Structure 1
């Protein structure tokens, strides 16, 4: 382990993921703990924390162990960039989730060669959502400019850069009423359901804790946060990698595959490619999509394109919304929420 040049302790970040009663998806990353304090507000700490979020020292090819509450243990390794994605089959030993469908687990380092301080006595908590079979529906939502002011339609994405580097997640503004709308969807028509919410974004995994803090701080329902690799984030559309182009539809398809009996509501914005992706999903699975909500953006050409795209589309209810009140009214009219 001679590549370490600092004395930062080691940690394992477990991303909130999802699974079923028979298959677990465990995803996360092993890396050095850079001691990022997301509550810091002065410019010095903002610059330091911004650098730490992207300049990560990873623990590649590290041996880890997953421990479930039912006593089962699974061993695996991180890849060369410190990431892990394990699909674990559980056949004979049931596990217990909480009333909202969250399964708690624990991760630890196995390597005895790691001559480094390891936080939390080598115990790192994680959670995975196992949606109830009685869910009315699920929600798959974008984050950028859908529930969080981001600036993805701004010139050269300058506002994305500014917001990411110089604004703490505690100061980032959610779109008005979005949290209330999502809680209504989460509780469904009865007001007592636990409908799953999945957050799918083109933001890089380096911002996972940033976005997790933002969602929690602004009282959004907890749900899996599915991001993409950093390498493709700033690339122009014409030269994007296949991975970055397919990230969002691939994640949506995987969710649909895992819960074949659950219909979904798709929520995004009109600024990027949500409109195109959601239409293709709805055309392929018209019986699985209950509605599509697209936030309007302040970009005339993009709005003209999206309106034209859906002009003759009647299969699934589609609503372009300027605010959350419009979406809530539509959802009540169609019996999605109380």
Structure 2
């Protein structure tokens, strides 16, 4: 009989304010994925382990802050947990970059034999300064990373996701420099927060985290969506009967968390970003400074997007071929 893998708590980099925490993560078995391995078999095996997760369901967890305060939560039927709560006086706990570091552990002592390492898993939450001028909300796929979502039958997506290591994925030219300039702002030291929001599943979290770090993107919360069944359409939003896609819900929650902060939305013209961003801009016109959409190499999709924005005047929209065009627009509008 195969020995079960040890259990762990994966924390997803998230965000909050001086008196509110929004923390996400998942309790699962540790599949011991080695992202440095090469070769077709190893890449296939890593991809299988990302999605064939054995979750730790309906178990209590305890989040502990640096000052000793704690919050209890419980994982759901898929092993996920969410802490969305008011808690005062968090500013003294953040570091100079605005990050609050916490630890989280399993409460059930009977699980201790299944934990390979110390029952103390680390996480971090971004708490932007009240002095920042605006925030940046960015898509990932085909916005900062070549993915191939517009390819026929999504074969390019499968090829890139399964057969390429995170370190080998190609960022879109100039994207990291654009985000750094927006992060620095007009004064050069504004520390405007960057949020990465995608339709991709949480199973790809560590993969995307490595990609962002290796390619020098500004560190920020990474917000993905729940993914249960590997046989459903991988990157499509699951919205029915008027329910908004998870990506849109996350963006709306960011806007609610920082009600005084305007935002720049960055995405691509290939999939759902134009429709989501239009609705958000129409609902919050005073909150959106600009929308930047990267053009994709897909004639029909580009025609549709150009039609959507032909008479759209709610907020400035720029369809760009490269990062330089977005940088030029940001300079003209004194964002940088």
TM-score, length-scaled by structure 2: 0.94
Distance 2:332 2:265 in 1: 17
Aligned partner of 2:133 in structure 1 is 136
Report the 3-state secondary structure (helix = DSSP H, G, I; strand = E; otherwise coil) of the residue aligned with 1:191: coil
Distance 1:245 1:267 in 2: 19
> Aligned match of 2:227 in 230, 237, 240?
230
CA gap of 1:115–1:69, structure 2 versus 1, over 3 A, is closer
Report the 3-state secondary structure (helix = DSSP H, G, I; strand = E; otherwise coil) of the residue aligned with 2:8: strand
Question: How far does residue 88 in structure 1 lie from its aligned partner after superposition?
Answer: 2.5
Alignment check: 8 A CA contact 1:205 1:230 kept: yes
Distance 2:280 2:233 in 1: 25
How do residues 4-15 of structure 1 correspond to structure 2 at under 5 angstroms?
6-15=3-12
**2:169 is the alignment partner of 1:172:** yes
CA gap of 1:173–1:69, structure 2 versus 1, over 3 A, is same
Alpha-carbon displacement from aligned partner over 1:60-86 (angstroms, at most 9, x marks no partner): 112211110111012221112110001
Distance 2:52 2:287 in 1: 41
Q: How many residues align?
A: 334
Alpha-carbon displacement from aligned partner over 1:8-46 (angstroms, at most 9, x marks no partner): 111110000111111111110011111111121222211
Q: Which runs of 5+ in 2 are unaligned?
A: none
Note the aligned Cα RMSD (angstroms): 2.0
Alignment check: 8 A CA contact 1:135 1:194 kept: yes
Distance 2:56 2:21 in 1: 23
Aligned partner of 1:28 in structure 2 is 25
Distance 1:188 1:92 in 2: 27
Aligned partner of 1:276 in structure 2 is 275
Question: How far does residue 93 in structure 1 lie from its aligned partner after superposition?
Answer: 6.7
Aligned partner of 2:329 in structure 1 is 330
**Which consecutive segments of 4 or more residues in structure 1 shift more than 2 A?**
4-7, 91-95, 231-245
CA gap of 1:150–1:79, structure 2 versus 1, over 3 A, is same
Alignment check: 8 A CA contact 1:142 1:268 kept: yes
Aligned partner of 2:182 in structure 1 is 185
> Aligned match of 2:160 in 142, 163, 169?
163
TM-score, length-scaled by structure 1: 0.94
Report the 3-state secondary structure (helix = DSSP H, G, I; strand = E; otherwise coil) of the residue aligned with 2:204: helix
Aligned partner of 2:204 in structure 1 is 207
Distance 1:236 1:68 in 2: 35
**2:169 is the alignment partner of 1:198:** no
Q: Which runs of 5+ in 1 are unaligned?
A: none
Question: How far does residue 120 in structure 1 lie from its aligned partner after superposition?
Answer: 3.5
